[in-house]
A and B are shown apart, each in its own frame.
Chain A
Amino acid sequence: EVQLVESGGGLVQSGGSLRLSCAASGFTFSNYVMHWVRQAPGKGLEYVSAISSNGGSTYYANFVKGRFTISRDNSENTLYLQMGSLRAEDMAVYYCARSPRTTRTFDYWGQGTLVTVSS
């Protein structure tokens, strides 16, 4: 069974940093592109970042470029999102999601981890 379990969320002051993790199991993690998608309280889904299966290519939405870093450890089956210079507008539930190998969609999502930014 495919499982994605996020952790690392919490309360952080504006300007602070946080590292999110997403532990994957039930599939060959190193074969899949992985993503972070966020959802502010009461709002819709917003695409944050992506990383290729071997970690060699990354993508960032403009609003996090230069502040967030996506990475992965294929030996530990774990995806990361290092978040820095956090702002109030970064407050959201952060989901990790998997793309299947044959098409562009998000076929499995984690349960999410909440990041709260205080001013």
Chain B
Amino acid sequence: QSVLTQPPSVSAAPGQKITISCSGSNSNIGNNYVSWYQQLPGTAPKLLIYENKKRPSGIPDRFSGSKSGTSATLGITGLQTGDEADYYCGTWDSSLSAVFGGGTKLTVL
């Protein structure tokens, strides 16, 4: 049982837009920045979004993040088959531990 709640899966056609939600509480998301990670099949996680909405160098602006209260959202526009991956939200809690969502599997039909 993960601390943060994400939908198990989401799917859409190439070119479409999706959003992935991440729900937490005041002890984690409510008082900390949220990050999003992309894990392509068989690879390590990769940082996509940090500080709720910032993108590291090299991450295209098709990826966006937002946060409101105790929830956060990852958005992906112009879906490509190469975006098929597991996506994880992550933040920190009051005990100084990092916490993650259970992951959302994105299928590009």
Asked if B100 contacts A47 (CB within 8 A), the reply is: yes
Is B94 an interface residue when CB atoms closer than 8 A count as contact? no
B103 → chain A closest CB, angstroms:
5
Asked if A37 contacts B50 (CB within 8 A), the reply is: no
Asked if A44 contacts B97 (CB within 8 A), the reply is: no
Is A76 an interface residue when CB atoms closer than 8 A count as contact? no
Asked if A107 contacts B47 (CB within 8 A), the reply is: yes
Is B60 an interface residue when CB atoms closer than 8 A count as contact? no
User: CA separation between A44 and B33, bound complex, in Å?
Assistant: 20
Q: How many residues of A contact B (CB 8 A)?
A: 19
Known: A44-B88, A45-B90. Contact between A105 and B35, CB under 8 A? yes
| The stretch of A13-21, A78-86, A109-117 that contacts the partner chain | A109-117
User: CA separation between A112 and B88, bound complex, in Å?
Assistant: 17
Known: A95-B45, A105-B47, A109-B44. Contact between A44 and B100, CB under 8 A? yes
Asked if B96 contacts A59 (CB within 8 A), the reply is: yes
Smallest Cβ-Cβ distance to A35: which chain B residue: B98
Known: A45-B45, A45-B88, A95-B44. Contact between A107 and B50, CB under 8 A? yes
Asked if A106 contacts B37 (CB within 8 A), the reply is: yes
Asked if A106 contacts B45 (CB within 8 A), the reply is: yes
- Show 23 residue pairs from A and B whose CB-CB distance is below 8 angstroms, ordered by the A residue: A44-B2, A44-B100, A44-B102, A44-B103, A45-B90, A46-B100, A59-B97, A61-B97, A95-B44, A103-B50, A103-B51, A105-B47, A105-B50, A106-B37, A106-B47, A106-B90, A106-B98, A107-B47, A107-B56, A109-B44, A111-B43, A111-B44, A112-B44
Q: B residues touching A (Cβ–Cβ < 8 Å)?
A: 2, 32-33, 35, 37, 43-47, 50-51, 56, 88, 90, 92, 96-103
Beyond A105-B35, A106-B45, list 6 extra A-B contacts (CB 8 Å).
A44-B88, A44-B102, A45-B45, A104-B32, A104-B33, A107-B47
